Structures are given as C-alpha cells and as structure tokens.
Homo-oligomer: A and B are copies of this chain.
Amino acid sequence: MPPIADFDQMSCPTPRRQHERVLLGHGSGGKLSADLIQRVFLKELGNDVLSSLEDSATLALGSLEPAVDDARSGPRIAFTTDSFVVKPLFFPGGDIGKLAVFGTVNDLAVVGATPLYLSAAFILEEGFEIELLRRIVISMRHACDQAGVTLVTGDTKVVDRGKGDEVFITTTGIGLHAANHALSIRNARPGDQIIVSGTIGDHGMTIMSTREGIEFETALQSDTAPLNDLTRAMLDACPSIRVMRDPTRGGVSSTLNELATASNVGILLDEASIPVRPEVHSACEMLGLDPMYVANEGKLIVVVAEQDCQSLMKVMKQHPLGRDAAVIGNVTADHAGMVVMRTLVGGQRVVTMLAGEQLPRIC
C-alpha cells in the first residue's frame, strides 16, 4: 500500500556503495525507500509490470501474459502485497490486523479493481500471547466482512524470541478490473484538479501520539478504512478519473511527488484548502511535524479533469468516507516534476518528498 516503498514506486537512482546497510529510513516511503527499490529491486527484478509504478500489478490471465497497457481478452486482475509491522499492535481506531486487511484492499481499490480475495502470512515471535493473536485474527475477520473480501489462504511461521517483534502480517490481494477505465499514475494532465477525500495525518499522528504517550482533548483516532466502496461509487459516477492513490507511508507530499514525476507535470497546492483536524494540527505542532508527510490509512488522492470535478466531489461528499473531501490544488504544465504549495501566509514553497524517516513502523 505505501507509495514508493512498494516496488512499483521509485526514482532517484544513486551509485552503489560498499558495506552499505539498511536504515530505518529505507522503510519510510520517502526518498531512501525509492533509492533502495530502484538500486536493488528494480535493477535486478525490473519488468514491465513491476516497473509500471502502480499500487497493484495488472495481469491478464486469459493470455498468460502481463497486461500493462490495455484490456486484452480474458479477465484482468489486480495483484498487490504488503507487510505490516506497525507498533503498537493495537491503537485507537484499529490494530495491525485491520490495517493489514484494509491496506491491501485499498491498494486494489485505487487501481479501480474490485477486491475479492486475500492471503495472510504471519511471522510470530516465540512467546507472543495467543490471546492477542486471536484478537488480531478476529479483527481481520471483521475487516474482511466490512470490505467484502474473503481470506482464502495463509501461512504461519515462528521465529525465536528476540528475532521478531510479536507479529508481522503480510497480506496479498487479488481484485478484478472493470473494463471501462484505466487509472494510472502517469495520466495526470495540466488543468486537472486534485482532490483529497478527507482530513490528512490522522493515522500517523495517532500512532505517534500513542507511542509518545501524548493525550489530546479530543482523542486522535486512526482513519484506517476500506476505500473500495467509495472508489466504486466514484468510478461508477465518473469513469474518467485519471489517478487514485492512497497516501500512506510518506504522506500526501510523497504521493504527489511521485505523481508529478510519473506524469511529468507540476502540481500547485493551496495550503488553506487542505483539511487537517485541529487535534492532528496540534499534535504536529507539538512534535514539529508537517501533516503533509504523515501517513494516512483511509484517504484518497484523486486526479480528475476539471469539467468532472464538481460532479465527482458531489458523489464523494455523499459517502461517509468522503464527507470531508476537498479540492486541494491542480495540475500544471509549469514546474514539471515538482509540487509547489501556496502557503497560508501568501508565499509559495516547494513540497519535497520525505527525505529521512519520520516514524518507523507506522504500518
């Protein structure tokens, strides 16, 4: 699910270095992730599908050939995987199990597919309490029911004490593509509008506050949610949507930077229009963070042609998960590959991709 740190999302190759080691930042969803993916994974494993920069791979089963660009004969399926290593395992609004189901469901949803089946592989640490595992598994069942998917296969491994951390879950999902749209991160065009489906930073600030033991007057809560019902309503109403993405690790800024690079366009944002909950704003101020870089687990970034924007916004606002949707900017021909923000005080600043690591193990 997390942009950039998925293989399918990377840029910035840098030269090979001796005795280089994995850093926490390599899992950030930002520049270091992109670098690792590019230099190690895509360099050695790259192919048309893996390198296509989408949140899920699109495969044509009828022909036994990858379907990169077009709808061929036979059903086209979407296929995506993510490991979940979030700490703490339970947090306000969710837990690792719910996150593992919704995260993969959302990666299928944003490419326009109907999520159908999941697999789940558990890596358990020796000594982990089985009652906690049970709670997580029950949460996964509820999440599957809510998203309308079936968990059909799985695996468990156990590692010795001190060689894991309670439980890691890897979910992989299969979805079925509809024939009538072809969403792609390369599709944004100058003049298009950029919509966010709701408030940003809720998930990341919830995890961070829980870990730091910070309390706020209004309790923070993760936004983790399955987006497939919302995306289905959106695509039914507006099949011309160009791109959808869920801005997870690395936040909205990293997603928009990937988009600007992949579509070779500029992006101009209006800071005043970006919805942020007051409690998320306060928590960010307290910890010195920019909500633009904070992970979301139930939000969409959508790019749509200007003439379809208002009708799409109407559909989104009628859905519980799109009630706070807002147009936050537009696509430009200027400053291709860059994201620029009109700030609250009237100036402009460049919004770069997350450079280091804001918070390890956010998902």
Cross-chain contact B158 with A119 (CB below 8 angstroms): no
Residues of chain A in range 106-120 having any CB-CB distance to chain B below 8 Å = 114, 116-117, 119-120
Tell me, in angstroms, the Cα distance from A144 to B44 when the chains sit together.
12
Confirm or deny: A296 has a beta carbon within 8 angstroms of a beta carbon on chain B.
Answer: no
Tell me, in angstroms, the Cα distance from A62 to B134 when the chains sit together.
33
Confirm or deny: A176 has a beta carbon within 8 angstroms of a beta carbon on chain B.
Answer: yes
Confirm or deny: A127 has a beta carbon within 8 angstroms of a beta carbon on chain B.
Answer: yes
Residues of B within 8 A of A212 (CB): none
Residues of B within 8 A of A154 (CB): 6-8, 41, 45, 50, 81
Residues of B within 8 A of A69 (CB): none
Tell me, in angstroms, the Cα distance from A5 to B212 when the chains sit together.
37
Cross-chain contact A8 with B164 (CB below 8 angstroms): no
Q: A170-B83, A360-B158 are in contact. Are A150 and B5 (CB under 8 A)?
A: no
Which residues from chain A sit less than 8 Å from chain B, CB to CB? 1-2, 5-8, 17-27, 33, 36-37, 40-41, 44-45, 47, 49-50, 56-57, 59, 61-62, 64, 66, 74-75, 77, 79-85, 114, 116-117, 119-131, 133-134, 137-138, 140-141, 144, 150-160, 162-165, 168, 170, 172, 174, 176, 360-361
Tell me, in angstroms, the Cα distance from A144 to B66 when the chains sit together.
15
Tell me, in angstroms, the Cα distance from A75 to B120 when the chains sit together.
23
By Cβ-Cβ distance, the 4 closest A-B pairs, closest first, are A27-B158, A7-B154, A172-B172, A81-B119
Tell me, in angstroms, the Cα distance from A160 to B25 when the chains sit together.
10
Contacting A159 at CB < 8 Å: which of B36, B61, B360? B360
A288: min CB distance to chain B, Å: 21
Tell me, in angstroms, the Cα distance from A47 to B119 when the chains sit together.
13
Contacting A157 at CB < 8 Å: which of B49, B83, B114, B162? B83
Cross-chain contact B152 with A22 (CB below 8 angstroms): no
- Residue with the greatest number of chain B CB neighbours at <10 A, chosen from A19, A125, A126: A126
Chain B, residue nearest A77 (CB): B61
Cross-chain contact A117 with B57 (CB below 8 angstroms): yes
Cross-chain contact A45 with B137 (CB below 8 angstroms): yes
Tell me, in angstroms, the Cα distance from A33 to B172 when the chains sit together.
22
Cross-chain contact B85 with A152 (CB below 8 angstroms): no
Contacting A124 at CB < 8 Å: which of B26, B57, B153? B26
Q: List 18 A-B contacts (CB under 8 A).
A: A21-B127, A22-B129, A23-B126, A27-B156, A41-B137, A59-B174, A61-B176, A79-B119, A79-B174, A80-B119, A80-B153, A81-B153, A81-B154, A84-B157, A123-B123, A155-B170, A158-B360, A164-B164
- Residue with the greatest number of chain B CB neighbours at <10 A, chosen from A62, A74, A155, A162: A155
